[in-house]
Structure 1
Amino acid sequence: MLGKPQFEALSEFRFRLAQFLHFSESAARAEGVTPAQYLLLLHLHGFHGRSWGTVGELAERLQASHQATVALVQRCERNGLVAKRRSRSDARCVEIRPTARARALVRRVARCHAEALAGMDDVFRAASAAGEAVGAQSRARHGKQARGGDR
């Protein structure tokens, strides 16, 4: 069972997360893009070993529908933030690539984000400790059930 310190830690985590998301949205808008456009560019920048993605991969990262992601990519393309290119290895695949302008923009916004996240270390530790406490309680409860409960 969670105690008061765990609830306090989770509450503080949610509060600080909401603050960070608000800051993130404001930072994106200050650069002239919507928060969704910034996230799309961030994910393009963040794919392991490459700086492009497919609509399907971006939809998964954004937790958005395929159709909504296509519309977002189209808006980004109209705004000169991404370019589409047919894959050289699989002609069925279209690669979404950030433009030089988009790469510079995402670096500027991400730098601000990194600084904001650095100040949240204590909150992450407290939330993690609360999660570990719940996990330990759950493991203990499941262990009793596996042994036939309390005898």
Structure 2
Amino acid sequence: MLTQADFEDLARFRLAVRRYLAFAERGARAAGLTSQQHQALLEIKAQSYSGVITVGELAKGLLLKPHSAAELVDRLGANDMIIREIAPSDRRVVHVRLTSKGESLLAQLSERNLHELKVISPSIGDVLERFENLVDL
């Protein structure tokens, strides 16, 4: 059974996560991106280290429907943030990668966001540690 302290920890954790997300959203807006566009750039960068990323994989990583991811890719492409490339082995598959403009903007936002995470991580870490000590419900 959950205790009052458990509910308080859950509320503190939720607030810390919301504050971080609001911080990241403000940064994205200030850079001329929507939060979803920023998340897409991050997903493309993260996934591209293991190879290329397709629009379908981007959709899965962002929990979007494929057509919504394709629209997002179109908007990012129109802003010179990403490049779409038809896969040579299957013309139905579209790979996406960041342009130098997309790379640069993502690096700036990521540095800012990582700094904020470093600032708030002690409070989140304390709450997560208490969650680990909870008895299975």
Q: 5 Å matches for 1:114-133?
A: 114-133=114-133
Query: Which amino acid is 1:137 matched to?
Result: D
Query: How far off is 1:60 after superposition?
Result: 1.1
Change (3 A) 1:30 1:51: farther
Task: Give the AA of the match of 1:21.
Answer: L
Percentage identity across paired residues of the two chains: 28
Tell me which residue corresponds to 2:67. Answer: 67
Q: Aligned pair count? A: 137
SS of the residue aligned with 2:136?
A: helix
Question: In the TM superposition, what is the alpha-carbon distance from 1:10 to its structure 2 partner?
Answer: 1.3
SS in 2 for 1:96: strand
Partner deviation per Cα, 1:23-47 (whole Å, 9 max, x = no partner): 1111011111111111100111111
Counterparts of 1:84 and 1:48, CA distance in 2: 13
The 3 A distance-change label for structure 1 pair 48 and 68 is closer
Task: Return the alpha-carbon distance in structure 2 between the equivalents of residues 131 and 119 of structure 1.
Answer: 20
**Is the Cα–Cα contact under 8 Å of residues 44 and 51 in structure 1 kept in the other structure?**
no
CA distance in 2 between partners of 1:132 and 1:48 (Å)? 33
Shift of 1:120: 1.9
Partner residue, 2:104:
104
Distance in 2 of aligned mates of 1:27 and 1:51: 28
Structure 2 unmatched ranges of 5 or more: none
TM norm structure 1: 0.81
Partner of 1:113: 113
TM-score, length basis structure 2 = 0.89
Give the aligned residue type for 1:64: L
State the partner residue of 2:30.
Answer: 30
8 Å Cα contact 1:45-1:51 kept in structure 2: no
Is the Cα contact below 8 Å between 1:9 and 1:126 reproduced in 2? Answer: no
- Superposition pairs of residues 1-151 of structure 1, within 5 angstroms: 1-47=1-47, 49-50=49-50, 52-134=52-134, 136-138=135-137
The answer to whether the 8 Å contact 1:6/1:127 transfers is no
Residue type at the aligned position of 2:136: Q
**SS at structure 2 position matched to 1:40:** helix
Which stretches in structure 1 are left out of the alignment for 5+ residues? 139-151
User: Which moves more between the two structures, 119-128 or 69-78?
Assistant: 119-128
